[in-house]
Amino acid sequence: MESSREPQGKRPKLEPTDALLDEPASQPPMGAKIPRLCPYLDTINRQYLDFDFEKLCSVSLTRINVYACLVCGKYFQGRGTNTHAYTHSVAEGHHVYLNLHTLKFYCLPDNYEIIDSSLDDIKYVLNPTFTADHIKHLDSSTKLSRAIDGSLYTPGIVGLNNIKANDYCNVVLQALSHVAPLRNYFLREANYSKVRRPPGDSSFLLVQRFGELMRKLWNPRNFKAHVSPHEMLQAVVLWSKKRFQFTQQGDPIDFLSWFLNALHKALNGTKKHESSIIYKSFLGSMKIFSRKIPPIDMDEKQKKSLLLTSDYQEVETESNFLYLTCDLPPPPLFIDAFKENIIPQVNLYQLLAKFNGQSEKEYKTYKENFMKRFEITRLPPYLILYIKRFTKNTFFVEKNPTIVNFPVKNVDFGEFLTPEVKAQHQHTIYDLTANIVHDGEPSKGTYRVHILQKSTGQWYEMQDLHVTDILPQMITLTEAYIQIYELRTS
Per-10-residue mean pLDDT of the chain, 490 residues long, equals: 43 43 46 69 94 92 95 95 95 96 94 92 95 94 93 95 93 97 96 88 90 96 94 93 92 97 95 93 95 79 78 89 94 64 84 92 82 94 96 85 93 92 94 96 91 95 96 93 94
Range of the domain at 141: 126-272
Cβ neighbours for 1, distance < 8 A, ≥ 6 positions apart: none
d(CA 483, CA 407): 12
Kindly state whether residues 258 and 332 are assigned to the same domain.
Answer: no
In DSSP terms, 114 is beta-bridged to 105
Helices (DSSP H) in 300-403: which residue ranges? 300-307, 348-352
Give the amino acid at 400: N
d(CA 426, CA 273): 18
Kindly state whether residues 52 and 197 are assigned to the same domain.
Answer: no
Please check whether residue 25 lies inside any domain of the structure.
no
Please check whether residue 465 lies inside any domain of the structure.
yes
Cβ neighbours for 308, distance < 8 A, ≥ 6 positions apart: none
Task: List the CATH number of the domain containing 52.
Answer: 3.30.40.10
Please check whether residue 8 lies inside any domain of the structure.
no
Which of 95, 124, 153 is at the close of a domain? 124
Which of 68, 94, 124 is at the close of a domain? 124
Task: List the CATH number of the domain containing 210.
Answer: 3.90.70.10
Please check whether residue 214 lies inside any domain of the structure.
yes
Which of 108, 124, 140 is at the close of a domain? 124
Give the amino acid at 107: C
Kindly state whether residues 360 and 463 are assigned to the same domain.
Answer: yes
CB 387, CB 481: distance < 8 Å: yes
Kindly state whether residues 76 and 139 are assigned to the same domain.
Answer: no
Listed residue (248, 284, 244, 247) closest to 262, CA to CA: 244
Secondary structure letter of residue 227 according to DSSP? E
Q: How many domains does the chain have?
A: 3
Kindly state whether residues 283 and 391 are assigned to the same domain.
Answer: yes
Kindly state whether residues 296 and 427 are assigned to the same domain.
Answer: yes
Task: Report CA 179 to chain centroid distance, whole Å.
Answer: 10
Give the pLDDT confidence score for residue 367 in this predicted structure.
Answer: 76
CB 403, CB 456: distance < 8 Å: no
Cβ neighbours for 69, distance < 8 A, ≥ 6 positions apart: 75, 76, 85, 88, 89, 94, 96, 97
Give the pLDDT confidence score for residue 295 in this predicted structure.
Answer: 78
Give the pLDDT confidence score for residue 157 in this predicted structure.
Answer: 96
Please check whether residue 17 lies inside any domain of the structure.
no
Kindly state whether residues 262 and 313 are assigned to the same domain.
Answer: no
Please check whether residue 433 lies inside any domain of the structure.
yes
Kindly state whether residues 238 and 158 are assigned to the same domain.
Answer: yes
Please check whether residue 93 lies inside any domain of the structure.
yes
Give the pLDDT confidence score for residue 34 in this predicted structure.
Answer: 58
Cβ neighbours for 429, distance < 8 A, ≥ 6 positions apart: 410, 411, 412, 413, 414, 487, 488
Q: Checking phi first, is residue 297 left (phi over 0); if not, alpha (psi -120 to 50) or beta?
A: alpha
Please check whether residue 28 lies inside any domain of the structure.
no
CB neighbours (10 Å) of residue 117? 7
Give the pLDDT confidence score for residue 139 in this predicted structure.
Answer: 93
Kindly state whether residues 215 and 114 are assigned to the same domain.
Answer: no
CB 299, CB 324: distance < 8 Å: no
Kindly state whether residues 464 and 318 are assigned to the same domain.
Answer: yes
CB 278, CB 288: distance < 8 Å: no
Kindly state whether residues 228 and 361 are assigned to the same domain.
Answer: no
Kindly state whether residues 385 and 452 are assigned to the same domain.
Answer: yes
d(CA 211, CA 220): 16
Kindly report the CA angle at 331 between 326 and 337, in degrees rounded to 5? Answer: 150
CB 253, CB 482: distance < 8 Å: yes
